[in-house]
Structure 1
């Protein structure tokens, strides 16, 4: 399941008079919960090995934790997609990709969520695709469009929640809903002449995750070889 958080403080006026909104954040709730549980499990097992182990065992446990904890954080807690009126920022396990909307060629969702920018393809780890949720949404769409989910076109527009149909009766899975909103933000931006060529992706590697993991793996290999 993918969650989307928006700033509730309301829009702020921009220089051109158009409202500006804070970043929308998209992340996997299941991934965050799984990451927290894994960290608790690693801390419990590793802490017990450090406290009660003998010989090289405490050092092996510390090296294993130094290698494993950053990787768990990278693949579960770190992935998130931030989007506002100007740009999209994709935070993947080992790197962060920032692209102004004119540089985004496409955002698509098949068996995974992908962004095409600067002639390259980037995975959106924070928006995993669930085939089961997509099939469930398709069934709900059929029921909504058959008459059970229609609403008065002249009545108030209800606030959409996960699992509820759009105005056309379409129910979208959480990942497809996120892609739909990101495409809306991309289409809302007016591309000026020459702006598309200058909007290249900016990639920053997450060395604060890579460095401790590599160090832990090296220490673990050395200790295992000398044990």
Structure 2
């Protein structure tokens, strides 16, 4: 079963931008005025490519066979048995093939999110003889304890480590990682370049 992890904020802002651009493109086509309209379309095209590459494309994907890291310009697939050390700082860093490193673009851990996670993991000071905080159901309490002091990136990093360890326990053979260009990003850049050229040459 495939699981996809992304930055929610980047995804929401990215699709808001796409909706904004779609409205403006419709308006520019309906009120086409030659070169000014083409220049505006080129600017929107270039900005949309940047938003797509940085906000919409990056994803961390768990498949049955391995980890797929979709970064802005490349995709890297690492079989679970080939995953090495996993560390989490601002980003999730996955070691593979002995000395190589895959830096996942999403999810990331900002300083603000990490500080919030640490406050969430700190014990609540008890005031008075009797507890005044509401008691959580067991399921919610277990979830809160699992995420105590952890960011989303920390949790995803632990899931990667867990899957890699289970693959090694099953004695799966480590396989070679595959790194490929992001052809969708390259096609988007090519389309943006075509709009820029058209804006330059149109009268």
TM-score where L is the length of structure 1: 0.71
Aligned length: 195
Partner of residue 150 from structure 2, selected from 172, 177, 186: 172
1:19-38 to 2 correspondence within 5 Å? Answer: 22-38=1-17
SS at match of 2:168: coil
**Is the 8 Å Cα contact of residues 41 and 195 (structure 2) preserved in structure 1?**
no
Q: 2:184 aligns with which of 203, 208, 221?
A: 208
DSSP-derived class of the 2:101 partner: strand
2:90 corresponds to = 111
Q: How far apart, in 1, do the equivalents of 2:142 and 2:107 lie?
A: 19
2:166 aligned to which of 179, 188, 195: 188
Cα deviation code 1:106-152 (max 9, x no counterpart): 22211222222223222211211122121122122221699x99x9x
Whether the 8 Å CA contact 1:94–1:210 is kept in 2: the answer is yes
How many Å apart are 1:193 and its aligned residue? 8.1
Over residues 15-73 of structure 1, what are the superposed CA-to-partner deviations in whole Å (9 max), with x where a residue is unaligned?
A: xxxxxxx1222111111101011112222333333332422123233334443334322
Unpaired segments of 5 or more residues in structure 2?
Answer: none
Q: Which moved more, 1:185-194 or 1:72-81?
A: 185-194
Give a deviation string over 1:127-184, Cα, whole Å, max 9, x none.
11122121122122221699x99x9xxxx666754xx113xx9431112111112111
1:139 corresponds, among 119, 128, 132, to: 119
Residue 100 of structure 2 corresponds to residue 124 of structure 1: no
Q: Which has the higher contact order (CA 8 A, sep 6+)?
A: 2
Distance 1:145 1:195 in 2: 49
Pairs within 5 Å for 1:34-45: 34-45=13-24
Q: Is the 8 A contact 2:75 2:181 kept in 1?
A: yes
Residues in 2 aligned to 1:192 and 1:160: alpha-carbon distance in whole angstroms: 28
Across the aligned residues of Structure 1 and Structure 2, the Cα RMSD in angstroms comes to 3.2
TM-score by length of 2: 0.78
Aligned to 1:91: 70
SS state at 1:195 partner = coil
Indicate if the aligned counterparts of 2:35 and 2:202 stay in contact, CA closer than 8 A: no
